[in-house]
Structure 1
Amino acid sequence: MALDLEEFGVTPAGQDAVRPFAVEGLDVRGRAVTLGPVVDAILERHGYPEPVSRLLAEAIVLTSLLGTSLKFEGRFTLQTQTDGPVSMLVVDFVSPDAIRAYASFDEAKVDVLVEAGHARPEELLGRGHLAMTIDQGKHMQRYQGLVELDGISLEEVARRYFARSEQIPTEVRLAVGELFTRTDGSAPNHRWTAGGIMVQFLPEAPERMRQADLDPGDAPKGARPHEFDIDDAWVEARALVETVKDVELTDPEITVEQLLFRLFHERGVRLFDPQGISDKCRCSRDRVAGIMSNFSAEEVEQMKVDDKIVVKCEFCSAIYEFDAT
């Protein structure tokens, strides 16, 4: 039986909007999102191989969940640098709603993994690190957190990041899907969709958040790490989120409100105003010209092609052409 949101006075957030929520009965807060036209526009614009597109879409979802949590006008950037076939992912979010993204990869190496059936996200990334950078403006200090990538998923990246940098128990689910539709018997239309949910345990009593100490790597042989009982409320919340299926995060017919009701209706879930996500790039002809003005005459000379300089934005694929003089 479908849930009638209007009966509860709730207007669905729809696609391309992050819905913050809280479950006071479990002392958790979180955010959920379903991305449609935004992620489809970004991925179709780039035309990456399917596994690369899926990986970048996961990064876009994770950045949407984290970036919209900024409580000030600023910029959140997620960036990977690794030795894998996908050597770099960059997702850039500028509050309140602008997001852009691109990937750098070795197509031949990606093809090898695909043929071998090993094109999972963690295998595409390889080993290296992921940086999450928060920029609050030119008059404020930037903050950056690093997570080692050693064959882990982006979901595990988020868990480790919050466990180590903020000591907040966190559970994350990310999913990417493809939709194919036929309208007139011709070739099917293709669309990308993606979604995610993140919950964090934030009780009023901070001692309830205590977790086992992270192994520093230099403990005496045989030493046992400190162990703490996991709070029952967090055990329940995490277990509920682990039941979320990919289709519940990627099917446009399933709203995030319906998903949250399924998960937390017994405890009661409070919804907050949704925050929209838009496909926006910050590049412009003036911005590109300003960057190029810092190049030396020799560097400009090396960039010339038939007395022209052509610059392509990696994020939005816009092309800017300048006279070399």
Structure 2
Amino acid sequence: MDTELRSLGDIDFAGDDRVVPFQVGALDIRGRAVQLGPLLDGILGRHDYPVAVARLLAEMITLTVLLGTSLKFEGKLIVQTKGDGPVELVVADFTAPGDVRAYARFDEERLAEAEAAGRTSPTELLGTGILAFTIDQGEYMQRYQGIVEMKGESLHEMAETYFRQSEQIPTILKLAVAELLTRDEDGQSRHHWRSGGLVVQFLPDAPERMRGADLPGGDAPEGAEDHNPDDDDFWSEAKALVGTVKADELSDPEVGAERLLYRLFHEHGVRVYPAHDVADNCSCSREKLADVLSGFSAEEITDSVQDGHISVVCEFCSTTYLFEPDELKA
């Protein structure tokens, strides 16, 4: 440990809720690492989700943060699942440069049945459906959406399928979620959520080294070279190194992103860049909701009135907004 600390030198460690970009030039890989703490407590705490749902949403938040911090423009990344399982919808969106919000929708009765039967893996909770990635660059730009079928035992395997099929970038993802119980100065027990994540991508300077074959091997012209990025020695070594990461290392605050990266890649030299802050910030507002409600007809407004006013609750942050019928009709 002393040798490790000396090698890390005077690095200002990122800590929680900050994404650390990195590059290993010797292996032609780039990526980002993150550990989330207070951000998760803020989002999950206000919804009081069942544990199985909270863990799934925490993974989705971690995945979205890792991918969203790669945006090079002022825009939004939305990642969501939609399936026929007990957890019908899991969605997280990242608004550049670092605002995060998320929520999940589930069927309480079906979830209780699944938990009683011990069917709480991501695939059992989500069922059959899709994983969608949406990039929104603003009002005057066309949205981009990539959709893949939910295949795999975990969210990170489903996301890797997306990168393999849609982006065609060799990608490894690691996600881990942990629950911590601590005691405050008064001896009261406190529950905390933590997560950690790592994304590694093979991005060599020579593009032909990462490009998959244009044709399946059986259809290629005779004598044509069929290059598979997985056969590249650098990428094979990178995958082997990342494969040694344990779940508790990803989320352990005593390890941290920089120390984890050093453990994995110190023999090749790993360069870390300034960390990106991420925060639990919802983009909802009274003005935005008023704009939506202003499109309602007078009859729809009347039908929406309860106890003399219209109440709207943001699904992401649970904030309640009250509107008087007269202000909307005006």
Using the size of structure 2 for normalisation, the TM-score is: 0.91
CA apart distance, 1:187: 4.5
Which residue of the partner structure matches residue 304 of structure 1? 305
Q: What RMSD over aligned residues (CA atoms) do the two structures have, in Å?
A: 1.9
Q: Which amino acid aligns with 1:27?
A: D
Flag the 1:184–1:98 CA change in 2: closer, same or farther, 3 A. closer
Q: Check conservation: 2:152, 2:158, Cα contact below 8 A.
A: no
Q: Check conservation: 1:125, 1:151, Cα contact below 8 A.
A: no
Which residue of the partner structure matches residue 108 of structure 2? 107
Instruction: Specify the SS of the correspondent of 1:141.
Output: coil
Which residue of the partner structure matches residue 95 of structure 2? 94
CA apart distance, 1:232: 1.0
Deviations 1:53-111 (A, max 9, x none): 00000000000001000011111111211111111111111100100000000111111
Which residue of the partner structure matches residue 124 of structure 2? 123
Cα distance between partner residues in 1 of 2:92 and 2:13: 26
CA apart distance, 1:5: 6.6
Q: Check conservation: 2:211, 2:227, Cα contact below 8 A.
A: no
Q: How does 1:178-189 map to 2 (within 5 A)?
A: 178-183=179-184, 186-189=187-190
Instruction: Specify the SS of the correspondent of 2:282.
Output: coil
Q: Check conservation: 1:5, 1:12, Cα contact below 8 A.
A: no
Q: Which amino acid aligns with 2:66?
A: L
Which residue of the partner structure matches residue 251 of structure 1? 252
Which residue of the partner structure matches residue 291 of structure 2? 290
Deviations 1:130-164 (A, max 9, x none): 11111111222211111111454211122111111
Which residue of the partner structure matches residue 223 of structure 1? none
Which residue of the partner structure matches residue 161 of structure 2? 160
The percent of aligned pairs where both chains have the same amino acid is 54
Which residue of the partner structure matches residue 135 of structure 2? 134
Q: Check conservation: 1:34, 1:196, Cα contact below 8 A.
A: yes
CA apart distance, 1:18: 0.5
Which residue of the partner structure matches residue 34 of structure 2? 33
Which residue of the partner structure matches residue 318 of structure 1? 319
Cα distance between partner residues in 2 of 1:151 and 1:235: 21
Q: Which amino acid aligns with 2:14?
A: A
Instruction: Specify the SS of the correspondent of 2:135.
Output: strand
Cα distance between partner residues in 1 of 2:183 and 2:100: 30
Deviations 1:232-289 (A, max 9, x none): 1111101111111111111112110000000000011010111010000111111111
Q: How does 1:172-183 map to 2 (within 5 A)?
A: 172-183=173-184
Deviations 1:193-245 (A, max 9, x none): 01100100111122221446798xxx9xxxxxx78461111111011111111
Instruction: Specify the SS of the correspondent of 1:72.
Output: coil
Flag the 1:198–1:7 CA change in 2: closer, same or farther, 3 A. closer
Q: Which amino acid aligns with 1:156?
A: E
Which moves more between the two structures, 234-243 or 261-270?
234-243
Instruction: Specify the SS of the correspondent of 2:158.
Output: helix
Q: Which amino acid aligns with 1:133?
A: T
Which moves more between the two structures, 43-52 or 120-129?
120-129
Which residue of the partner structure matches residue 222 of structure 1? none
Which residue of the partner structure matches residue 22 of structure 1? 23
Cα distance between partner residues in 2 of 1:8 and 1:74: 36
Instruction: Specify the SS of the correspondent of 1:69.
Output: coil
The answer for unaligned runs of 5 or more in structure 2 is: 220-225
Q: Check conservation: 1:23, 1:269, Cα contact below 8 A.
A: yes
Cα distance between partner residues in 1 of 2:270 and 2:75: 29
Alignment partner of 1:44 is 2:37: no
Flag the 1:171–1:212 CA change in 2: closer, same or farther, 3 A. farther
Q: Check conservation: 1:28, 1:202, Cα contact below 8 A.
A: yes
Cα distance between partner residues in 1 of 2:55 and 2:191: 14
Instruction: Specify the SS of the correspondent of 1:243.
Output: coil
Q: Check conservation: 2:59, 2:175, Cα contact below 8 A.
A: yes
Q: Check conservation: 2:132, 2:148, Cα contact below 8 A.
A: yes
Instruction: Specify the SS of the correspondent of 1:46.
Output: coil
Alignment partner of 1:190 is 2:191: yes
Instruction: Specify the SS of the correspondent of 2:150.
Output: strand
Cα distance between partner residues in 2 of 1:5 and 1:168: 35
Which residue of the partner structure matches residue 81 of structure 2? 80
Which residue of the partner structure matches residue 53 of structure 1? 54
Cα distance between partner residues in 2 of 1:214 and 1:50: 45
Cα distance between partner residues in 1 of 2:235 and 2:160: 14
Q: Which amino acid aligns with 1:94?
A: T
Instruction: Specify the SS of the correspondent of 1:4.
Output: helix
CA apart distance, 1:304: 1.4
Which residue of the partner structure matches residue 261 of structure 1? 262
Deviations 1:30-67 (A, max 9, x none): 00000000011100111100000000000000000010
